A = this chain, B = another copy of it.
Amino acid sequence: MVLKAQELFWEKGYNATSLSDLSTATGAGAGSLYNTFKGGKKELFKKSLQQRKEDLEGFKIKLANSDTPIELIKSFFISVATASKKSHLKGCIVANTIVEMTFIDEELENEAIEILKETEKLYTTTILAAQKKGNIKSKIPAPTLGKHLITLWCGINTLRRIYPDKEILKQQIELQLQLIN
């Protein structure tokens, strides 16, 4: 149920998604939605965000089990270029929420910010380890490179709406990943 709601929120954002939309998409009546998610629409949105947090935990585990986790991160970024057109247009629900919710709902904004900061932490740790192992030659401090990947992520997630084009995106992503070498 949350996944169906997440898909809608991801596409249309919080404000433009009505409870009627959610009811149709999930197949549950308004009463059921409010019984299941006591906080109503907002709670349902929170759950949709937290879902991404869990996905991040899954990625964390993958990185922990990899010999060259930094390569996993790089290929994750590169794989964005070949996503579907709809994925391009949807962008990232976390980044979208930060943009939409500033000045509107501090709690939702902060939830989204927290997720990106946690992602950044994961990147930074991985980069630092790779530098020590010699898999990254760059002497740029790991925290700087970690933030750079977040900036890249946010940038690409708008660029892919302007240019939902595999070649353009691949070019831009690889250009910026050169810093992590």
Contact = CB atoms under 8 A, between A and B. Distances in A.
Interface of A: 11-13, 15-16, 89-91, 95-96, 98-100, 102-104, 109, 113, 116-117, 140, 144, 147-148, 150-159, 161-163, 168, 171-172, 175-176, 179
Nearest 3 pairs of A and B residues by beta carbon: A155-B155, A154-B158, A151-B155
A150 B140 contact: no
A117 B158 CA distance: 12
Q: Label chain A's interface by main secondary structure.
A: helix
A43 B156 CA distance: 29
A176 to B, nearest CB: 7
Nearest to A103: B11
Nearest to A153: B155
Contacts of A172: 144, 147-148, 151
Contacts of A151: 152, 155-156, 158-159, 172, 176
Contacts of A89: 102-103
A102 B161 contact: yes
Contact of A117 (B98, B162, B171): B162
A172 B161 CA distance: 23
B162 A150 contact: yes
10 contacts: A89-B103, A98-B158, A151-B152, A151-B158, A153-B155, A154-B154, A154-B155, A154-B159, A155-B158, A176-B176
A116 B162 contact: yes
A65 to B, nearest CB: 29
A121 to B, nearest CB: 13
Given A150-B159, A158-B154, A100 B98 contact: no
A13 B147 contact: no
